[in-house]
Amino acid sequence: MYTLGFLLKETDGNATYIAAQPKIIGGQSIDIRYRPFMLSLHSSHGILCGASILSRTWAITALHCLISVPSQYYVRAGSNHMDRGGSVHRVTNIRIYNNTYRSWILGLFYHDIALFEVKPSFHFSRTVRPIHLPRSSQELPFELLVCGWGYINDKKKESAETLMGVYVQHVSYETCINISSLYTTFIEDDYHLCYGTQGKDACFGDSGGALANKRTIYGIVSFGHGCGKVAGVYVKVFYYREWIKSVTNL
C-alpha cells in the first residue's frame, strides 16, 4: 500500500486498498539471476505485489497484498517479466502473524507480513533460489537493494516492463518518525525499518517485495509517503524470525 491513502474500495466484491501497489523510482533493470528469490504476486485482476522465496514451498510478502482467499492468487518465479516466462505456482495457504487482521489503523497493518504456501513447489535453479533470514538484530547493512515490477514514474503511472531495482540507504528510527505525523504515530522501532534516498524508492506495485542483499532479506516493502520523496517504511524481518521458522520449518 505504497502511499498514505487509507480509504478502501470494493473491486468485484473484494476490498482493496486505493493506490496500494508501489513501484521502483530512480532504479535500473535487474536480471532475475541476481535476485532469484524474487516473485511477482498476481490475482485475476493482474499483478498485485512482489514476494520472496523462503523454501521450496513457502514465500513471504506483505499482508496487505493478500486480503482474499488463497485460491485468488498465484506467483511467477524465475522471470524478469511479470507476465511471461519462468514458472507459475498457485497459492494454497496463507499464514498471518498473531491474528494481525484485528490490529490495523488508518488502513495500515501493524504487522504487515504474511507467509504463503505454493503448489507446485519451486524447482531451484540459477533463476529460482531462496533468500535467507537475518541472523541478528544488529545485522543491518547501511545500503540495500529493493526490487519490483511497480511504477517507475508515479506521476505518469508508468510501469516497469522488467524487474527493476534501486539501492536505498538506512534512515534512523529517530529521523524517520519525524518525517510525518503518521510516521510518528505508526512506526515502531521493533518491527519497522526506514530506508530511502532522495529520488530513489519503492513505489506503487512494489509492496511485499524484498529489501535485501544477495543472500539475506532484511525488510518487506510496506508503505510510504509518496514515491522517492521521503524514506519508505519496511517490515523488519528479524522481528518475525522465530515465527517464520516455526511456520515454514526453516
Catalytic positions are 64, 112, 207
Bridge partner residues of 50 (DSSP): 40
